[in-house]
Amino acid sequence: MGKQQLDSHTILYGVFGDPIRHSKSPVMLNRAFEETGLNAAYAAFHILPGQLKDAIKGIRALQFRGVNVTIPHKLEVMEYLDEIDEGARIIGAVNTIVNDNGRLIGYNTDGIGYVRSLKEETGIELHGKKVLMLGAGGAARGVGYALAKEGAAHIYIANRTREKAEELAQSMSGFTGVTGMGLDEIADVAGDVALIVNNTSLGMHPNVDSVPMDTTLVREHMVVSDLVYNPMITKFLRESEARGATIHSGLGMFIYQGAYAFEYWTGVPAPTAAMREAVLQSFNS
């Protein structure tokens, strides 16, 4: 397909974050527009603390059709929207805004993107299964909610500060069985789980030698999943695979959170294979 030419009918999209120059979203979403033949363009905007409110007013004034929101703006942005989707409200963060003829609606596509890629790439059946999540930060909330909605029977949340894990467990207890615990208690539950998810940044570039838990606890019937996607295969995944587990990298979550955003904006099925290819190419260039 030829490169999309911008003209006076081009519809604009973007991503707001701080920092933002490392973002792969423009590469991925512009490839999606190209692939589907839509006259649209997507750019990265460096929005500093204190500028978010004005930036959202800018979306309204300039009639952007949609925007992704990344760190550190996912919470504050909720104050400036007209409507917040139920899932995003429960998670307490918005990463996607749809401008529906001047009405700004906030969604969170991280958790649903995560589950869609997990199922597609590993074939796991989550219903009735137990899950161990490592880390209790912002990402854990979205992933945990999405796993609960898929029918996970019990979610164990292990975190360095046990209180934080218990707090998150408490806030999710309306959706499925949840237990918060310290990292030192992982060995007690690891044998029962079908899925282990690393929601921490441990193992992320440049600290590629760290792992979030003792991988001798990993069994071959498990799926082990890491939200980190740089490097693509973390030490945690490498060691888990060596023990016979099925592994799932964080790249899928990134691609599918973008795919859902694309679908909310355009109503067109996202060309996920092309999006993945664009991101992989940009890693290698």
Q: Is 39 annotated as a binding residue?
A: no
Q: Is 24 annotated as a binding residue?
A: yes
Q: Is 31 annotated as a binding residue?
A: no
Residue 119, SS3 per DSSP: helix
Q: Is 163 annotated as a binding residue?
A: yes
43-55 CB burial, b ≥16 within 10 A, e <16: ebbebeeeebeeb
Q: Is 162 annotated as a binding residue?
A: yes
Q: Is 164 annotated as a binding residue?
A: yes
Residue 47's nearest CA partner among 21, 65, 24, 26 is 21
Q: Per the structure block, which two tokens stand in for 35?
A: 């692939």
Residues annotated as catalytic are 74
Q: Is 61 annotated as a binding residue?
A: no
Q: Is 263 annotated as a binding residue?
A: no
Cα torsion through 184, 188, 191, 193, rounded to 10:
-80
H or E segment and range at residue 99: strand 96-100
Are 270 and 279 within 8 A, CB to CB? no
What residues form the annotated binding site? Answer: 23-25, 70, 86, 95, 110, 135-139, 159-164, 227, 229, 250, 257
What residues form the annotated binding site for shikimate? Answer: 23-25, 70, 95, 110, 229, 257
What residues form the annotated binding site for NADP(+)? Answer: 86, 135-139, 159-164, 227, 250
